[in-house]
């Protein structure tokens, strides 16, 4: 198999959402993250999308690419942090906010702290793997040198449905 051959597009029954560009609120950014999650589904990646916002502008936008890149570090959040850092020329993202469709895993929860993100907003909680309030709360470790604010629940129903439908589809294919 050609390693760099384009992958067949996987049909996704969910439609992208196109919010008004005039209202830049939590809902707006999370909808953009949701659209990236749909793009992940279409190349058969677990549908998680991430957006990084800075002064009302999007400076990072990515989806999960673990299987395509064969690299466990290619989560949406890590890729978006690298983009955002490149955009502002600094690894410190104190003035930035990360929107992500699923509660970050141990790695990405830690990356939010190490990148000194101002805030993380996630849609779907993950009580098994999530580390910003789910399985544990790494952001509350008292000795850390940075405090990241955490909120959740924005566009939760839509992002949860997307994830559940993807895993259901995968299970049906396996049987």
Burial of 43 (0-12, 13-18, 19+ CB in 10 A): middle
Q: How far is the CB of 15 from a second copy (least distance, A)?
A: 30
Q: What distances in angstroms separate CA 7 from CA 10, 24, 35, 75, 167, one per listed residue?
A: 9, 34, 19, 18, 19
Q: How far is the CB of 1 from a second copy (least distance, A)?
A: 11
Token output for 172: 């049906």
Q: Which is nearer to a second copy, 109 or 124 (CB)?
A: 109
Instruction: Write out the residues near a second copy by the rule CB under 8 A.
Output: 66-67, 69-75, 78, 81-82, 85-86, 89-93, 105-111, 113-116, 127-129, 131, 135-136, 138, 141, 143-145
* Catalytic residue list contains 77: yes
Binding-site residue numbers for Zn(2+) are: 75, 105, 108
Task: Judge whether 84 and 93 are in contact, CB under 8 Å.
Answer: yes
Q: How far is the CB of 78 from a second copy (least distance, A)?
A: 5
The residue behind tokens 């993250």 is: 33
The residue behind tokens 């910003």 is: 132
List 53, 77, 103, 158, catalytic entry:
77
The residues that are catalytic are: 77
């Amino acid at each position: 198999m050609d390693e760099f051959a384009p992958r067949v597009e996987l049909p996704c029954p969910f439609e992208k959402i196109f919010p008004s560009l005039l209202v830049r609120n939590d809902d707006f950014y999370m909808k953009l993250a949701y659209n990236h999650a749909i793009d992940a589904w279409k190349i058969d990646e677990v549908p998680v999308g991430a957006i990084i916002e800075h002064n009302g502008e999007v400076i990072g936008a990515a989806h999960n690419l673990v299987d395509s890149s064969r690299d466990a570090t290619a989560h949406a959040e890590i890729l978006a942090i690298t983009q955002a850092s490149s955009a502002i020329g600094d690894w410190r993202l104190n003035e930035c906010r990360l929107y992500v469709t699923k509660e970050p895993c141990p790695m990405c929860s830690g990356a939010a702290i190490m990148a000194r993100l101002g805030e993380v907003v996630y849609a779907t909680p993950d009580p098994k793997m999530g580390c910003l309030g789910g399985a544990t709360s790494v952001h509350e470790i008292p000795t850390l040198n940075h405090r990241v604010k955490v909120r959740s629940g924005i566009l939760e129903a839509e992002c949860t449905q997307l994830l559940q439908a993807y895993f259901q589809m995968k299970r049906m294919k396996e049987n």
